[in-house]
């Protein structure tokens, strides 16, 4: 092992027994574990956040399989590289099996043409594809490739998983054992916590700490909490403003407000702002929630949300975070009613799918002289001319008489509603 190579690379597992984490797909009774062990792998897509072990798993497979293993990176590879890999696989002199395992890192970066170039060879079995992606493959990968592959989702590593890898790095000859390091388990745990599930971040930080800390008179390099904190950068929550995590986070934010959990709403708001989300985008989501989910249970929520959106536009970050927080908390803690939301959707459905009849003549507009002769506006009763500013008359078309769209629920205060009796 070349100790000049990055620690994260040197500590990549070589066998399944070395692999840490992802027990939900690599437990000894799980299909992926069994197929790798038996070298009977079919095409797979590995989907998960950075640093969770996708490339490491591909390396384990490369060390396990009897087939030729070819690696491409979708950022730099083109159709020509794909064709060269296929030709290499089909060269019976160099590769008697006539097939290969092709690992494509960041496969979501392949365009449609590149993915289509792979398809016939995956279908014929010439290529066993292993694609790795941080993006939702159901959105980013050719549906034909997806249908011919098994999709395995990898999760962020737990703090225990990251700690295990760090401990192994400290004690391994291939890791940092030769540096005579003294570091407490508590400090290793803090590094694992800071890495936020990304083992690569943790190992890179530990390596920087070791390489930049001088040896003391006792012959050891002492890594303290302070040194570790300085060297291990906090990884931002996995969040791509244009990717799947963006939609997951905003969905969680909206659902938290709808579910009246102000703390969760603030958490997802903070997660979005920390990742650089546009504060106006968050403000618009709050306005929508105020109308869709709070509605007539507290009409002031829409006023507050709209005022917040205007204030965010005028003030900008970082102060906009306070305005967004206030509006999100107000919406989250308000009573909820989706009666208006249900009502308009039902009305739209009727308008779109039914013969709803014609507008009654007496409530039609008559802007030009002589239209009354045709019945326009004739017989209209002006409500303010009647006691209580209300009078019974028909507003719905004849074909829609008796239809109810708006049905107040128990969270709506009807005390100020117009009494019709």
Number of Cβ within a 10 Å radius of residue 366 = 16
Residue count of the chain, please give it. Answer: 421
Domain ranges of the chain: 22-153, 159-231, 244-333
The pTM of this model reads 0.63
Whether the Cβ atoms of residue 190 and residue 225 lie closer than 8 Å to each other: yes
* Cα dihedral 371, 372, 375, 381 in deg (nearest 10): 130
Q: Are 30 and 76 in contact, with CB atoms under 8 Å apart?
A: no
Residues with Cβ < 8 Å from 16, sequence gap 6 or more?
A: 26, 33, 36, 37, 60, 64
Q: CATH classification of 244-333, choosing from 1.20.272.10, 3.40.50.720, 1.10.10.10, 2.30.110.10?
A: 1.20.272.10
Residue 70 vs residues 86, 128, 411: alpha-carbon distances, Å? 10, 10, 62
Residue 246 phi, psi dihedral angles, 5° rounding: -60, -50
Alpha carbon distance 236, 270 (integer Å): 11
For 22-153, CATH gives: 3.40.50.300
Tens of pLDDT along the chain (421 residues)? 556 788 888 888 888 888 998 889 888 888 888 888 888 888 889 998 888 889 889 888 888 888 888 888 888 888 888 888 888 878 767 777 777 888 888 888 888 888 888 888 888 888 888 999 888 888 888 888 888 888 999 988 889 999 999 999 999 888 888 888 899 999 999 888 888 888 888 999 899 988 988 888 888 889 888 888 888 766 555 555 555 567 788 899 999 999 999 999 999 999 888 888 889 999 999 999 999 999 999 999 999 999 999 999 999 888 999 999 999 999 999 999 999 999 999 999 999 998 989 999 898 888 777 788 888 888 899 999 998 898 899 999 999 999 999 999 999 888 888 776 5
Q: Which CATH architecture has domain 159-231?
A: Orthogonal Bundle (1.10)
Separation of alpha carbons 380 and 263, rounded Å: 52
Common-topology check for domains 159-231 and 244-333:
no
């Amino acid at each position: 092992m070349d100790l000049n190579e990055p620690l994260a690379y040197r500590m990549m597992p070589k066998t399944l027994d070395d692999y840490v984490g992802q027990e939900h797909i690599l437990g000894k009774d799980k299909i992926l574990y069994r197929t790798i062990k038996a070298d009977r792998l079919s095409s797979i897509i590995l989907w998960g956040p950075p640093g969770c072990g996708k490339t490491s798993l591909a390396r384990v497979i490369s060390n396990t399989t009897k087939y030729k293993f070819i690696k491409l990176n979708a950022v730099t590879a083109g159709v020509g590289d794909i064709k060269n890999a296929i030709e290499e696989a089909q060269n019976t002199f160099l590769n008697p099996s006539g097939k290969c395992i092709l690992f494509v890192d960041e496969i979501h970066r392949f365009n449609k043409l590149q993915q289509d170039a792979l398809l016939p060879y995956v279908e014929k079995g010439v290529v066993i594809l292993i694609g790795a992606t941080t993006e939702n493959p159901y959105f980013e990968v050719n549906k034909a490739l997806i249908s011919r592959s098994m999709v395995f989702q990898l999760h962020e590593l737990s703090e225990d998983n990251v700690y295990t890898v760090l401990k192994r790095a400290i004690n391994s000859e291939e890791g940092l054992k030769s540096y005579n390091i003294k570091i407490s388990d508590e400090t290793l745990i803090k590094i694992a916590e800071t890495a936020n599930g990304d083992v690569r971040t943790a190992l890179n930080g530990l390596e920087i700490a070791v390489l930049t800390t001088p040896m003391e008179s006792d012959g050891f390099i002492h890594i303290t909490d302070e040194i570790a904190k300085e060297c291990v950068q906090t990884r931002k929550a996995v969040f791509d403003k244009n990717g799947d995590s963006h939609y997951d986070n905003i969905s969680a934010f909206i659902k938290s407000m709808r579910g009246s959990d102000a703390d969760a709403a603030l958490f997802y708001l903070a997660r979005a702002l920390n990742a650089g989300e546009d504060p106006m985008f968050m403000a618009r989501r709050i306005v929508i929630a105020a109308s869709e989910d709070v509605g007539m249970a507290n009409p002031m929520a829409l006023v507050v949300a709209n005022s917040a959106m205007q204030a965010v536009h005028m003030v900008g970050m970082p102060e906009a975070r306070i305005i967004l927080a206030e509006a999100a908390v107000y919406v989250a803690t308000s009573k909820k009613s989706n009666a208006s939301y249900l009502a308009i959707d039902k009305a739209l459905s009727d308008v779109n799918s039914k013969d709803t009849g014609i507008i009654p003549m007496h409530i039609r507009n008559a802007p030009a002289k002589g239209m009354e002769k045709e019945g326009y506006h004739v017989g209209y009763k002006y409500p303010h001319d009647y006691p209580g500013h209300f009078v019974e008359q028909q507003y719905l078309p004849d074909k829609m008489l008796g239809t109810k769209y708006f049905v107040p629920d128990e969270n709506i205060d009807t005390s100020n509603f117009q009494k019709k009796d």
